[in-house]
């Protein structure tokens, strides 16, 4: 340990270190004869002190001239420079071969692992594809089931055809948007407005030119659009908007008749004449339909043959138990189509009618026992008969009252009973408000054709330019807003004019008057043919003189497929119409 303590851990060539120490100490290994034993001993001691070499290796060199082997050199013979270069190159080649072998082993190991990795990735991808296919298949099944359910309930959420189904609900607002300008639809010229009124009064519809590159320069198109905005109304008060009437409120200053009974009787008398005139036109086929809008409900009268019905029909919505009882007292027969439809669905196998009856019977039995349990306490339960009939009557009344002011309360009147309904509405005092802002004001009558006491009105239109975001950019669009009572025939006529003017590309948003949302309800008496057969023989109703455009009339003759729903959006693209309800 003492001998190794003198070695430096950082040396590379021990021979060079020893040579430098010899030079510093001034000692050499030559065999000089002048050296004395004392000097040699002192030099040897100095060498032992300065040199880290062990004393066993410090021996005097031989006199034979042979060079002593350096104990600090490598045991193998030192190769020549040429051989050294060859050896170095051989070592480099061996190192490169070893590195290549190691890289080859790594590559082979990686190649051995790659199939397993790829197989795992492929299996994961296959599993992912299987799961996605299963999810798509399940999603497709759910969508198909939902579509079947919508078709079974006669409520189409979307459609695409050459025309949309008839919608008998009244619209309060119509907003049309198109990439082409709609400025041609506002501010008609005096000649164009006169032409529109002339054609409307005579039920004449002019043909539009085939080429409409500039709709603003086509007077026939502008006149046709103004003609589609015309409707007839009674009563007419310029300072009041008499549609809609349900939940409408007026200022007392605008209703001078509210405290004058003479004015109220005069308004009611003129209104009765107008209603009788409308029904006469409807019965003779000169008026296709009209609306009666009171402060509580709305009535739609349709001529025979429209919407597939075989006779004149009237739909009232919403109704109350008091109104239905009053109609029954006048001998007016009616039915509740939505209530009958729900009962029919419950009576089907697996329906809920049987369960509901059982629950009602159990409830009745338990209520009867609980209500008359006190009779047992006094011992007279056998002497008093339980009024089970009264309980049944109370349950029926509760069920009838639960329909009030709901869409399910819509009532359908058919045939000759519509005439009785007209007399009931004329003579009934309940259709006129007895208090509030609408006191003494008779219901509003709306019709697409003229009748006695009616005044001509036109829906208001306003055109504006808007910007809409389309594919991360803003696009300039033109918007047309139409406000007023939009009748079913007016809506169809407007869409046909827009189709020609906008090259079959526009979309519209419809706002519906809620009390009229269920007027698309049909009954089991709906016919699938356009003509009807009366009891006296085979006679077809002729509606050619009803004042509607032939295409609009053809649409209204078909039974509505909307059922309890109504149109909310209409979109036309490349002359193909799609809608949503």
Domain assignments of the chain as residue spans, ordered by start: 159-229+460-522+560-580, 230-336+406-458, 343-402
User: Alpha-carbon distance 425 to 200, whole Å?
Assistant: 30
Closest CA to 171 of 501, 472, 424, 491: 491
CA atoms within 13 A on the CB side of 556: 27
Per-residue pLDDT at 426: 96
User: Alpha-carbon distance 282 to 470, whole Å?
Assistant: 48
Rounded to two decimals, the pTM is 0.66
C-beta separation of 567 from 152 below 8 A: no
Per-residue pLDDT at 112: 47
How confident is the chain (581 residues) per 10-residue block, as mean pLDDT?
52 71 63 43 44 45 55 55 49 56 52 42 50 55 49 45 89 94 91 95 89 88 96 94 90 86 94 97 95 96 92 94 93 91 64 52 48 65 57 52 82 95 94 90 96 96 86 86 96 95 93 93 55 41 88 92 91 91 86
User: Strands across the sheet with 505-512, in order?
Assistant: 158-161, 576-580, 569-573, 505-512, 171-178, 474-486, 460-469
**In b/e form, how buried is each residue of 503-536, taking b as 16+ CB within 10 angstroms?**
beebebbbebbbbbbbbbbbbeeeeeeeebeeee
Helix locations, 206-249, DSSP H: 219-228
Helix locations, 153-212, DSSP H: 190-201
What are 561's two structure tokens? 């497929």
Per-residue pLDDT at 323: 93
CB atoms within 10 A of CB 236: 14
Strands (E), 425-492: 444-447, 455-458, 460-469, 474-486
Print the SS3 string covering 135-151. HHHHHHHHHHHHHHHHH
User: Alpha-carbon distance 305 to 558, whole Å?
Assistant: 9
Closest CA to 337 of 309, 297, 304, 305: 309
User: Alpha-carbon distance 318 to 411, whole Å?
Assistant: 8
Closest CA to 287 of 304, 267, 269, 270: 304
CA atoms within 13 A on the CB side of 420: 14
The CB-based long-range contact list for 93-100 (8 Å cut-off, 24+ gap) reads none
Parallel/antiparallel/unpaired status of strands 289-293 and 313-317: unpaired
């Amino acid at each position: 340990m003492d001998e190794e303590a003198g070695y430096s851990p950082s040396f590379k060539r021990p021979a060079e270190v020893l040579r430098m120490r010899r030079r510093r100490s001034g000692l050499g290994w030559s065999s000089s004869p002048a050296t004395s034993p004392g000097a040699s001993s002192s030099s040897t001691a100095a060498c032992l002190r300065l040199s880290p070499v062990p004393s066993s290796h410090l021996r005097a060199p031989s006199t034979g001239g042979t060079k002593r082997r350096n104990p600090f050199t490598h045991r193998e013979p030192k190769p020549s420079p040429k051989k050294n270069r060859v050896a170095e190159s051989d070592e480099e080649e061996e190192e490169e071969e070893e590195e290549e072998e190691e890289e080859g082993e790594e590559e082979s190991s990686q190649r051995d692992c790659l199939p397993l990795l790829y197989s795992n990735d492929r299996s994961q991808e296959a599993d992912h594809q299987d799961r996605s296919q299963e999810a798509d298949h399940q999603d497709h099944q759910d969508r198909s089931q939902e579509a079947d359910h919508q078709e079974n309930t006669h409520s189409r959420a979307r459609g695409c055809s050459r025309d949309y189904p008839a919608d008998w609900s009244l619209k309060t607002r119509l907003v049309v948007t198109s990439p082409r300008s709609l400025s041609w639809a506002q501010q008609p010229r005096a000649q164009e407005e006169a032409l529109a009124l002339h054609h409307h009064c005579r039920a004449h519809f002019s043909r539009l030119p085939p080429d409409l590159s500039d709709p603003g320069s086509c007077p026939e198109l502008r006149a046709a659009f103004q003609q589609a905005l015309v409707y007839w109304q009674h009563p007419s008060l310029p300072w009041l908007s008499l549609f809609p009437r349900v939940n409408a409120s007026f200022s007392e200053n605008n209703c001078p008749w509210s405290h004058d009974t003479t004015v109220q009787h005069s308004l009611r008398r003129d209104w009765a004449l107008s209603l009788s005139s409308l029904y006469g036109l409807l019965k003779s086929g000169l008026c296709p339909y009209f609306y009666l809008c009171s402060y509580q409900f709305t009535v739609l009268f349709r001529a025979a043959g429209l919407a597939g019905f075989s006779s004149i029909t009237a739909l009232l919505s919403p109704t109350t138990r008091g109104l239905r009882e009053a109609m029954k007292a006048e001998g007016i027969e009616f039915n509740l189509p939505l209530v009958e439809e729900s009962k029919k669905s419950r009576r089907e196998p697996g329906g809920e009618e049987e369960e509901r009856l059982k629950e009602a019977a159990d409830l009745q039995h338990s209520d009867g026992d609980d209500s008359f349990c006190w009779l047992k306490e006094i011992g007279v339960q056998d002497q008093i008969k339980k009024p089970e009939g009264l309980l049944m009557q109370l349950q029926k009344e509760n069920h009838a009252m639960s329909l009030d002011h709901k869409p399910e309360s819509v009532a359908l009147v058919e045939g000759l009973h519509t005439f009785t309904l007209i007399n009931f509405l004329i003579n009934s005092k309940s259709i006129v408000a007895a208090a509030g802002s609408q006191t003494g004001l008779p219901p509003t009558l709306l019709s697409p054709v003229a009748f006695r006491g009616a005044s001509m009105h036109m829906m208001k239109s306003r055109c504006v330019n808007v910007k809409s975001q389309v594919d991360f950019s803003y696009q300039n669009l033109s918007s047309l807003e139409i406000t007023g009572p939009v009748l079913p025939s007016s809506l169809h006529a407007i869409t046909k004019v827009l189709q020609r003017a906008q090259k079959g590309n526009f979309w519209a948003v419809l706002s519906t008057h809620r009390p009229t949302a269920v007027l698309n309800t049909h009954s089991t008496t709906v016919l699938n043919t356009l003509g009807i057969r009366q009891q006296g023989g085979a006679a077809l109703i002729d509606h050619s003189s009803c004042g509607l455009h032939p295409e609009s009339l053809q649409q209204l003759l078909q039974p509505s497929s909307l059922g309890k729903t109504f149109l909310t959006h209409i979109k036309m693209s490349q002359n193909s119409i799609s809608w949503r309800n």
